[in-house]
């Protein structure tokens, strides 16, 4: 049961933990061990990853362990199992399922590692959502190949109000809608890639990182020049407090994101047909994705 639960959570790794939750779920691997309570604080001595591996073999004998890294995570060890990541304390007594954020750098460390393990991982997430049987089996490899080859899912953008968007980029560029958070490191990287391909971007902020993200989204939206304020926000520059304006469009963005299961940012949506890519993509992938938009059928 524990291992199936672990792998099932792994299949949902594309979903970011909402900031309102405040903490990652921590699950005890064994309630009946002779070990003392493990501390998540980093010990003075370097961790013995071989001992961590042996403990995991004892507790999760059916879970393949490809790599273990105990450096730079504040006392946690990152464990890679196929294309899944999870975390344990250095005694491998407690297991943490979720994402690790570097709050100083404002970066999602888990997303970076997942992308390194499998660049197609986030794109495959949407297809896995449509395959509940594979999810129920808890096997991350059962749907991986078919998910990567599946067409992206689609959403209907028509009911989103114009007052929830900041539009930027050349007017004649390929059109794309981006759901983003100004505190998201990968959203900042995506901004640079979208600039590189000359995209016409309709950016719709959603507040993955909570109240501070929402305040910055309102500052950008209500600024005299929202496009300039948007780029300032990504550059880490201080934003002025403009006069209040109608921010109901931000509420609509949040509701749309919840309704479609956008638990993280960025989410890239092709304007032409609503095709979805979840997660950061480099310029070459974005260019190909937008080039693949269907050509409108002439009326008449």
Beta-ladder partners of 98: none
Enclosing H/E stretch for 278: strand 276-278
Dist CA 267 CA 250 (whole Å): 15
Main-chain phi, psi angles of 121, to 5 degrees: -60, -50
Range with the poorest average pLDDT among 95-99, 151-155, 265-269: 151-155
Average pLDDT over residues 188-210: 95
Greater model confidence, 92 or 7: 92
Query: HEC profile for 262-276?
Result: CCCCCEEEECCCCEE
Q: What is the mean pLDDT of the chain?
A: 76
User: What pLDDT was estimated at residue 112?
Assistant: 72
* pLDDT at residue 47, rounded to an integer: 61
pTM of the shown model? 0.55
pLDDT of amino acid 165: 98
Give Cα separations from 38 to 56, 94, 137, 204, 285 (angstroms).
15, 8, 31, 42, 44
Neighbours of 76 (CB within 10 A): 21
Q: Which residue has the tokens 């109901």?
A: 248
What pLDDT does 115 receive?
A: 66
Q: How confident is the model at residue 178 (pLDDT cuts 50, 70, 90)?
A: very high
The pLDDT of residue 101: 78
DSSP state of 169: S
pLDDT at 97: 85
Domains, the chain, ranges and CATH? 2-145 (3.10.450.70), 162-291 (3.40.30.10)
* pLDDT, mean of residues 96-101: 82
Task: Count CB-CB contacts under 10 A for residue 243.
Answer: 7
User: So what's the pLDDT on residue 105?
Assistant: 64
Other C-beta atoms lying within 10 Å of the C-beta of residue 274: 16
Give 74's Cβ-side CA count (13 Å radius).
6
Q: 13 or 50: whose pLDDT is higher?
A: 50
Tokens of 47: 């961790």
Mean pLDDT of 275-294: 90
- Looking at residue 15, what is its pLDDT? 42
Q: What is the mean pLDDT of residues 187-196?
A: 95
- How large a percentage of the chain has pLDDT more than 90? 45
The arithmetic mean of pLDDT across residues 263-284, rounded, is 92
């Amino acid at each position: 049961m524990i291992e199936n639960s672990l792998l099932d959570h792994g299949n949902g790794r594309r979903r970011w933990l909402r900031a309102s939750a405040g903490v990652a779920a921590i699950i005890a691997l064994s309630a009946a061990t002779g070990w003392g309570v493990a501390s998540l604080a980093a010990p003075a001595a370097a961790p013995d990853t071989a001992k961590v591996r042996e403990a995991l073999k004892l507790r999760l004998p059916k879970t393949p362990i490809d790599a273990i890294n105990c450096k730079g995570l504040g006392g946690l060890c990152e464990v890679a199992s196929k294309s899944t990541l999870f975390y344990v304390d250095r005694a491998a007594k407690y297991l943490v399922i979720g994402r690790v954020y570097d709050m100083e750098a404002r970066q999602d460390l888990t997303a970076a590692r997942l992308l390194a393990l499998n660049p197609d991982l986030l794109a495959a997430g949407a297809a896995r959502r449509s395959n509940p049987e594979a999810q129920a089996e808890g096997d991350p490899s059962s749907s991986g190949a078919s998910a990567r080859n599946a067409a992206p899912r689609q959403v209907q953008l028509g009911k989103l109000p114009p007052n929830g968007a900041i539009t930027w980029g050349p007017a004649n560029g390929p059109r794309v809608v981006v759901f983003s958070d100004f505190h998201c490191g990968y959203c900042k990287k995506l901004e640079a890639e979208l600039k590189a391909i000359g995209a016409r971007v309709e950016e719709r902020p959603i507040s993955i990182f909570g109240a501070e993200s929402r305040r910055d989204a309102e500052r950008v939206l209500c600024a005299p020049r929202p496009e300039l304020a948007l780029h300032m926000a990504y550059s880490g520059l201080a934003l002025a407090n403009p006069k209040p304006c109608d921010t109901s469009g931000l509420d609509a963005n949040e509701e749309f994101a919840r309704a479609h299961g956008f638990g993280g940012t960025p989410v890239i949506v092709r304007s032409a047909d609503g095709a979805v890519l979840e997660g950061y993509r480099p310029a070459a992938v974005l260019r190909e994705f937008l080039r693949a938009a269907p050509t409108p059928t002439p009326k008449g």
